[in-house]
Amino acid sequence: MAKLLVQESGAEPREFELMDAEVHIGRELDNALRIPDPSISRHHCVIRRAGAGYEVQDLQSSNGVLLNGNRVQSSPLKHGDRITLGQIHITFDDPAAASVPNEGATVAIQAMGDANPAGTVRMTADQMAAIHAGAPAPAAPPSVPSVPPVAPPPPLPTPQAPQFGHFTDPGQAPAPTQGATMSNGTITKPDANPVIALLLTWFVLGTGHYFINGQQRKWLYTLIAGFVGTLLCCLPGMIIGICSIIDAYQTAERLQKGETIGENEYTFPLLFKIMSKFDKEATCTRV
């Protein structure tokens, strides 16, 4: 019966009897003859019965199939042929080539190790030339067992900048963009918090929450008016500041309910009447 004499590096030759019509050789577990060597492709070649003899065929392996030192794609085998697969040397032994092999199950060589290499180690030009010349090829880099990667520690939370409202220009389909603009669009912000609005507007000259809500134009004009009022007379400035606090709180309440509010729309009517003197585009639905 025909058989293969497999010479692995640093080990005694192993015998593998060719009992099936096809014997696939490679590094994967589904091969009949599995050779766990990094220079062997996952599915390197196949040796199949052809008439009264056998032939070898390369399965598009990385390092190819050398038959007696010559690279072949497919070639018949004869007794004593030397097959080189990467760093592995196999001798084809078939003293009775005319005999018909018995049907039976393929006896596979016991796999060495359980781990599959991550990929085929391609041989260098010097290594291939050494094999062609019949000299022992330089040793391929030893396969390193795959070590599961150590998960990095979770990143520290970074403070998130407050999100602006989402604007929608009139007459266009909703296409919200984050951030505030000076266009006279509309905004929606159901998650607005009236309490935060009250605190922010109290500490930031009564107008800070306008900016966070995305009403930059309203914030700018209110801030300017507050400064002007403070310079001209403390009382008007205080009135504008108090009105701004009330307006900011009421606006945040409306946004929290899911209402859509214009960018320069005022909720507190008194503040609107004051600000309409400065901002001709100011609006108020509660007047």
Q: Is the Cβ–Cβ distance between 285 and 251 less than 8 Å?
A: no
Pick from 82, 107, 90, 79: which is nearest to 5 by CA? 90
List domains and CATH numbers for the chain: 3-132 (2.60.200.20), 166-284 (no CATH)
170 Cβ contact partners less than 8 Å away, ≥ 6 residues apart: 185, 186
**Which CB contacts under 8 angstroms, 24+ apart, belong to 237-243?**
239/274, 240/206, 240/271, 240/274, 241/205, 241/206, 242/206, 243/268, 243/270, 243/271, 243/274
Burial (0-12, 13-18, 19+ Cβ within 10 Å), 232? exposed
Q: Which two tokens stand for residue 100?
A: 């018909």
What is the pTM for the complete model shown?
0.38
**Helix-strand-coil split of the chain, %, nearest 5:** 25, 20, 55
For residue 195, the model assigns a pLDDT of 77
pLDDT tens-digit profile, the chain (287 residues): 899 999 987 778 899 999 999 999 999 999 999 999 999 999 999 999 998 899 999 999 999 999 999 999 999 999 999 999 999 999 999 887 645 444 443 333 333 444 444 566 666 666 666 655 555 545 555 555 556 666 677 777 666 655 544 444 545 545 554 544 445 567 777 777 787 777 666 556 556 656 666 777 887 888 787 777 666 667 777 888 899 999 999 989 989 988 888 888 898 898 888 888 888 888 988 76
| Cα 132 from Cα 243, distance rounded (Å) | 92
